[in-house]
Amino acid sequence: MVMGFSIALMVFSALLMLLVLMHKGKGGGLSDMFGGGMQSSVGGSSVAERNLDRITVVVGLLWFACIVVLALLMKLDN
């Protein structure tokens, strides 16, 4: 049981990293260092960006739930 949640945590961690890196830079941060500040933003966010936001939040919540479940399972195991 613990092994399954550990594997799920690794998968969600990798997926969360990829999703965060796919986000468009808002400027003023490290994204400017890599050329993200040169792009002009057209007002508002696109449908794809909003969907990416939603998917990132869902994966982040699943990642957090895996951590909580793993902590509870390890506490019960001892």
Looking at residue 6, what is its pLDDT? 96
27: left (phi over 0), alpha (psi -120 to 50) or beta: left
CA dist 25 and 66 (Å) reads: 28
Rounded mean pLDDT of 52-65? 97
Domain boundaries, the chain: 1-21+48-78
> Which letter does DSSP use for residue 31 in this model?
G
Question: Would you state the torsion angle of the CA atoms of residues 35, 54, 45, 47, taken in this order, to the nearest 10 degrees?
Answer: 120
Looking at residue 78, what is its pLDDT? 80
**C-alpha distance across the termini of the chain, in Å:** 15
CA dist 23 and 31 (Å) reads: 10
Q: What is the pLDDT of residues 6-52, one digit of tens each?
A: 999 999 999 999 999 998 777 655 556 666 555 555 555 789 999 99
Looking at residue 40, what is its pLDDT? 54
Rounded mean pLDDT of 49-70? 96
